[in-house]
């Protein structure tokens, strides 16, 4: 998509995913832009202070980016920061969550391919963490909805093997099985109450997440394990 953007001035909203500074003071930013997707943008001399963009060059900074599209790449002209999530610097757990999502986006997104729904999911999930929802629960929600957008999310309500509605279930590498089918496939037991908790976190309205899953949350190992299992589904992309 970025190859189809005509040469000239471009103004688009987005977020800084990554910042690399060269030894000569030149800075390269990996931006996730609306309608364009992930692209590298150059800011020559920005690392030497010749051109000041303030917090607009820091990862997790959202704003409107004024760019110039040259023959080969984009150049940063200015940025109007709308949200930098600076308040999260005082909470290591919250900041680590957002930086982990940032890392996964850098790892799995295709440069130049628009992914506006995922960008919106990243932003609003970050808002939930900023406003007091439990980071690990929101991470489960974020990963689950991301996988759902890409058609990779396993069912939380029906057995992977026979399709029957689930009560108690069993996790394996491919998803959830009912106990009867799990006798053949094996896996880790997931009680019905735990399964329903995962469903609630993934499907409850945005405005209810903070109330239902406030920070700090309970059962850290449960949510940590759930997030780990969701991340393993990205391996199907390789």
Residue 52: its pLDDT value, please? Answer: 61
β-strand partners of 170: 177, 189
Position 152 pLDDT exceeds 80: yes
Position 105 pLDDT exceeds 70: yes
The tens digit of pLDDT for each residue in 52-91 reads 666 778 899 999 999 999 888 899 998 899 999 988 988 9
Window from 3-17, 28-42, 110-124, 160-174 with minimum mean pLDDT: 3-17
Q: Where are the domains of the chain?
A: 2-83, 132-237
The tens digit of pLDDT for each residue in 8-39 reads 899 999 999 999 887 777 889 999 999 999 99
pLDDT band at 46 (very low <50, low <70, confident <90, very high): low
Residue 173: its pLDDT value, please? Answer: 87
More confident residue, 165 or 235: 165
Residue with tokens 């600076």: 86
Strands 74-83 and 37-43: parallel
Task: Please state, in angstroms and as integers, the Cα–Cα distance from residue 163 to each residue in 21, 167, 199, following that order.
Answer: 51, 12, 17
Contact (Cβ atoms closer than 8 angstroms) between residue 97 and residue 138: yes
Question: How confident is the model over 145-170, as a mean pLDDT?
Answer: 95
What value does the mean pLDDT of the chain take?
A: 90
Window from 56-65, 125-134, 180-189, 193-202 with minimum mean pLDDT: 180-189
Which percentage of the chain shows pLDDT scores above 70? 93
Residue 6: its pLDDT value, please? Answer: 76
Contact (Cβ atoms closer than 8 angstroms) between residue 68 and residue 8: yes
Chain-centroid distance of CA 192 in Å reads 27
Q: What is the pTM of this model?
A: 0.91
Q: Give the whole-angstrom CA distance, residue 11 versus residue 76.
A: 10
Question: How confident is the model over 209-216, as a mean pLDDT?
Answer: 93
Q: Encode 187-225: b = buried (16+ Cβ within 10 Å), e = exposed.
A: beebeeeebebbebbbeeeeeebbeebebebeeeebbee
User: Which residues fall within 8 angstroms of residue 47, CB to CB, at 6 or more apart?
Assistant: 21, 22, 24, 25, 26, 27
Q: Residues 2-83: name the CATH superfamily.
A: Nucleic acid-binding proteins (2.40.50.140)
Contact (Cβ atoms closer than 8 angstroms) between residue 195 and residue 176: yes
Position 47 pLDDT exceeds 90: no
Q: Give the whole-angstrom CA distance, residue 93 versus residue 216.
A: 10
């Amino acid at each position: 998509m970025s190859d189809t953007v005509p040469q000239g001035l471009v103004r688009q909203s987005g977020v800084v995913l990554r910042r690399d500074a060269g030894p000569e003071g030149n800075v390269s930013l990996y931006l996730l832009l609306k309608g364009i997707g992930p692209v590298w943008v150059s800011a020559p001399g920005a690392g030497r202070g010749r051109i000041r963009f303030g917090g607009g060059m820091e990862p997790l900074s959202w704003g409107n980016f004024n760019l110039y599209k040259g023959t080969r790449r984009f150049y940063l002209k200015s940025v109007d920061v709308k949200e930098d999530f600076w308040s999260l610097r005082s909470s290591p757990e919250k900041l680590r969550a957002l930086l982990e999502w940032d890392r996964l986006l850098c790892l799995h997104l295709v440069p130049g391919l628009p992914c506006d729904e995922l960008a919106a999911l990243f932003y609003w999930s970050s808002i939930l963490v900023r406003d007091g929802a439990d980071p690990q629960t929101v991470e489960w929600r974020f990963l689950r909805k991301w996988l759902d957008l890409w058609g990779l999310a396993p069912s939380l309500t029906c057995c992977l093997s026979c399709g029957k509605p689930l009560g108690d279930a069993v996790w394996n590498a491919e998803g959830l099985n009912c106990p009867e089918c799990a006798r053949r496939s094996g896996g880790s037991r997931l009680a019905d109450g735990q399964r329903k908790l995962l469903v609630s976190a993934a499907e409850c309205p945005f405005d209810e997440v903070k109330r239902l899953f406030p920070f700090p949350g309970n059962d850290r190992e449960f949510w940590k394990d759930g997030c780990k299992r969701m991340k393993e589904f990205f391996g199907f992309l390789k």
